[in-house]
Amino acid sequence: MTADNRIRIVTMPKWGMTMTEGKVSAWLKEPGDPVEPGEELLEVETEKIANAVEAQESGVLRRILVQPGQTAPCGAPLALIAEADVTEAELDAVAEGAESAVAEGGGLSTARVDAGGLSLRVTSAGGGEGAPLILLHGFGSDAGAWMFVQEALAQGRAVHAIDLPSHGDSDVDAGVATLEALAERVGAAVDALTDGPLHLAGHSLGGRIALRLAARRGKRVRSLTLIAPAGMGGGPVSRDFVDGFLRADKRRPMKEALRLLVADEGAVTSEMVERALAAKRIDGAQEALEAIAAACLGDNAPEGVAEDRAAISAPVLVLWGAEDRVIAPPAEGAEVLEGVGHLPQMEAASRIAARMARHLEGAE
């Protein structure tokens, strides 16, 4: 997407953890056709499914970059949507830049960074001159929570998803459980990744950590995106979810807990259940998760939110699912997505990626 939002890039979606590429089977619109949000633009096939890709913005389909029968990696540019007054030269520049970003990014890569004595895993995508974007996941999750949007957001910038302490493949330490301790370690990881301007985004617990980091990093932070952040909802964090997740030691109770995360309970797969159980079985993880939940997800979750918000000068975007059963959306101050639960970045990935991309570009 260009800085003035006049050209929108349609990218190859990521519909599953193992999806790395897709084949364009047919275009349902032709260059010159007007498009509206929700209209089907093209059909994409993978080894497992075939599905339609919908437009997220209104405009005119100006250029198709990938033809029927051709295969492209997830996050690759497929088409450009723009108004009629955008010149061909402008389209050329955006197409070239987007294609170069995908070629340079080479998909996802992982690395480890030192964070105040803890080793945290970082999953990275993309590259380029844009200020990098840091993604922070929620409680009991890992960087994979961003898998449907990370590569789509890596257009001209690096996007780093960090496994929080005691989550994913990061080091486990039950002594790093308070908001301040988590923000300190994650902040050290962020500083190891970049010493310049950056964008921050966080979901749930990660949203609360991102808010604290944005307050502490001052003018380095160009934008902040919060998705269902802990401490900012219309009610407390659901004890049914937190306690159910912590107690679950078998597939059925874990599946029941995870179902609370989504509006469509059928979206909870056996792979999600197994990953959650495996993460809890890591030595020390259960104790650490219990400590984090007690310190950050109880009645004290809203503490310090107002002060942190007041300290942030960067533009802030707050997104929430209308059907969120873990943290109810607030009465005001958030863009609410209908038919979506606590995981908008997975349940409505295309909409979230498009909205976040606009927010990032507007803050550059």
CA dist., res. 33 & res. 61, Å (int)? 6
Q: Give per-residue burial for 42-74: e unless 16+ CB within 10 Å, then b.
A: bbbebeeeeeebbbbbebbbbbbbbeeeeebbb
- Show me where the domains of the chain are located: 7-105, 108-363
Alpha carbons 90 and 348: distance in angstroms, whole number: 30
List the one residue out of 362, 299, 357 whose CA is nearest residue 133. Answer: 357
- B/e letters for 295-321, b = 16+ CB within 10 Å, e = fewer, are bbbeeebeebbeebbeebebebbbbbb
Is residue 342's pLDDT more than 90? yes
Fold of 108-363: Rossmann fold (3.40.50)
Task: Judge whether 138 and 205 are in contact, CB under 8 Å.
Answer: yes
Residue 104 has pLDDT above 70, yes or no: no
Sheet with 198-203, side-by-side order of all strands = 108-115, 118-126, 157-162, 130-136, 198-203, 221-227, 316-321, 335-337
Instruction: Please report which residue ranges of the chain form alpha helices under DSSP H.
Output: 88-105, 150-153, 179-193, 205-217, 239-247, 251-259, 270-280, 285-296, 305-310, 344-347, 349-363
Beta-carbon count within 10 A of 339 CB:
11
Q: DSSP character for 243?
A: H
Instruction: Kindly report the average pLDDT of the chain as a whole number.
Output: 91
Residues 212-237 have a mean pLDDT of 96
Three-class HEC string of 10-45: EECCCCCCCCCEEEEEEECCCCCCEECCCCEEEEEE
Return the higher-pLDDT residue of 105 and 334: 334
| pLDDT tens digits, one per residue of 52-77 | 888 878 899 999 998 998 888 877 88
What was the pLDDT predicted at 17?
52
Q: What is the mean pLDDT of residues 147-162?
A: 92
**Cα torsion through 173, 178, 182, 187, rounded to 10:** -140
pTM, to two decimals: 0.76
In the prediction, which pLDDT does 49 show? 77
Model confidence at 1: pLDDT above 70:
no
DSSP element (H, E) containing 122: strand 118-126
What value does the mean pLDDT take over residues 162-186? Answer: 97
Q: Confidence band (pLDDT; 50, 70, 90) for 18?
A: low
Confidence of residue 3 (pLDDT cuts 50, 70, 90): very low
The backbone torsions φ and ψ at residue 45, rounded to the nearest 5 degrees and listed phi first, read -115, 145
**Banded pLDDT at 99 (limits 50, 70, 90):** low
Residue-level pLDDT at 98: 62
- Across 245-257, average pLDDT: 96
User: Residue 81: pLDDT above 80?
Assistant: yes
Residue 95's pLDDT band (cuts 50, 70, 90): confident
For position 5, what pLDDT does the model report? 61
Which listed CATH number (3.40.50.20, 2.40.50.100, 3.10.20.30, 2.40.50.1070) goes with 7-105? Answer: 2.40.50.100
In angstroms, the CA 160 to CA 31 distance is: 34
